[in-house]
Amino acid sequence: MKIKKEIKHGNTRWRVAFVEIGRERRRFFETRQAAEAFATDRETQQRDYGAVWLAATAATRREATDAIVRARDGGYTLSDACRAFETSRQATASSVTLSALQGLFIESKRAQGLRERSVVQLAHSVSTFVRGREEVAAASITPTDIAAHLDRPNWAGRTRESVLVNLATFFAWGVKMEYLLKNPCVTVPRPVVEVSAKCVHRADQIERILRTAERMDPEMMGYGAVGYLAGLRPESEMGRIKRGNIRADILRIEEWNKTRRRRDVSICPALAAWLARWMPLGVELAPDGAAKRWTKIRRAAGFLDREQDVMRHTYVSAHYVLHGEVATAAQAGHSAQELHASYRELMTKAEAAAIFEVRPSDGVDYRAGAEKRLAR
């Protein structure tokens, strides 16, 4: 962009020469200051809007050009068109209540094929927020409303984080389906969550529990042994695996598991010994009332805590110490990041090795008990 002084019709003018859409243009100004201001403004526009144009796809450029022509022929500007559209969307958004949006959201998630457990968790988080706000316009919810909802002394950091994630999913769906213009959760600070070590059991504790299962409820031996020595997830995996998925050297986890990816879990010699005792009983791995029956066994063995997934945590921790991150991630269906953050240094190699040596009692045959059970 060039600025040059010229005499035109006896008057001093300042000429600004520039290129626009491939053609040379000129503008004249009475003062140098006015010419420089124009040139600066023009260069700024070329730099800013030119970059936007260059970054746009060919399809977006064609669409923009068509919009410019339509607006010119219609006697309005592109800004007028944008304002009209935004006003229309705002009117639609302001008419949707939180209760109505919640119903549509949950219905959509079920139709999407989300697992029922995940749908229930989402529904619980959303309904907790919606309760008392049923007729409030969803579009009126602010980040302050979300932050105030999370500010509960009785909620741990992980609970707050989980609720925030679920609410963000809810409002993001509303934006995607064009019921809302923005997601109020985006700017809400993520709650601080302390990463704590997982609770694990040692070999002597595992032996005490499995021995109690042998004595009290032999049908639950397989459940306990697979939990501690293969690390299957209690509900989504042990609750669904069938006897046909138990092979000579592997447990085959089909696509119905949490990650929706099939994987094979190796059967160690100790687990093979437990399964050899359990298989003749003819029951599934998680027989009727498995959760309550296992709780009774734990309590009889002296374990009164309610630590969730302690069997899986024990297996993953021990396997990680003995075989490393990559092998354990493949066996457990875990992410390497989660392993590194939560399962390192929870036990020594000797403690880990001892876990995979816990075996059933010698000389005990449970088939007679099974025959009596089947005869009843």
Using one digit for the tens of pLDDT, what is the confidence trace for 114-155?
878 889 999 999 999 999 999 999 989 999 999 999 999 899
Using one digit for the tens of pLDDT, what is the confidence trace for 327-353?
888 888 876 666 666 666 678 999 999
Instruction: Domain 98-176: give its CATH code.
Output: 1.10.150
336 and 326 in contact (C-beta within 8 Å)? yes
Gap between the Cα atoms of 344 and 198, Å rounded: 10
> Which pLDDT does position 95 carry in this prediction?
74
pLDDT at 373 over 80: no
pLDDT at 15 over 60: yes
Using one digit for the tens of pLDDT, what is the confidence trace for 299-332?
999 998 767 689 988 999 999 899 988 888 888 8
3-state secondary structure at position 253:
strand
Helix spans in 56-115 (H): 58-74, 78-94, 98-112
How far lies 129's CA from each of 104, 132, 154, 163, 295, in Å? 16, 8, 16, 9, 33
> Which pLDDT does position 197 carry in this prediction?
62
pLDDT tier for residue 376 given thresholds of 50, 70 and 90: very low
Q: Which residues lie closer than 8 Å to 171 by C-beta, 6 or more apart?
A: 138, 141, 180, 183, 184, 185
Gap between the Cα atoms of 92 and 139, Å rounded: 9
346 and 200 in contact (C-beta within 8 Å)? yes
Same fold, 98-176 and 203-375: no
pLDDT at 367 over 70: no
Residue 280, phi then psi, degrees to nearest 5: -60, -15
Gap between the Cα atoms of 226 and 273, Å rounded: 11
267 and 250 in contact (C-beta within 8 Å)? yes
Using one digit for the tens of pLDDT, what is the confidence trace for 68-108?
889 888 898 888 888 877 776 665 555 789 999 999 999 99
Instruction: Sketch the domain layout of the chain as residue ranges.
Output: 2-55, 98-176, 203-375
> Which pLDDT does position 259 carry in this prediction?
59
Helix spans in 242-309 (H): 269-278, 290-300
> Which pLDDT does position 49 carry in this prediction?
73
Q: Return the bridge partners of 136, or none.
A: none
Q: Maximum distance among all alpha carbons in the chain? A: 121
3-state secondary structure at position 6:
strand
166 and 122 in contact (C-beta within 8 Å)? yes
Q: Which comes out higher in pLDDT, residue 278 or 258?
A: 278
pLDDT tier for residue 371 given thresholds of 50, 70 and 90: very low
> Which pLDDT does position 198 carry in this prediction?
72
Of 6-10, 18-22, 296-300, the poorest mean pLDDT is in 18-22
Question: Tokens in use for 253?
Answer: 């986890």
How far lies 222's CA from each of 43, 164, 269, 331, in Å? 75, 38, 14, 18
Q: Which fold has domain 203-375?
A: hpI Integrase; Chain A (1.10.443)
pLDDT tier for residue 39 given thresholds of 50, 70 and 90: confident
Q: Which comes out higher in pLDDT, residue 375 or 237?
A: 237
What is the pLDDT of the chain when averaged over all its residues? Answer: 85
> Which pLDDT does position 255 carry in this prediction?
58
Q: CB burial class (10 A; 0-12, 13-18, 19+) of residue 105?
A: buried
Q: Which comes out higher in pLDDT, residue 362 or 249?
A: 249
> Which pLDDT does position 101 carry in this prediction?
95
pLDDT at 374 over 60: no
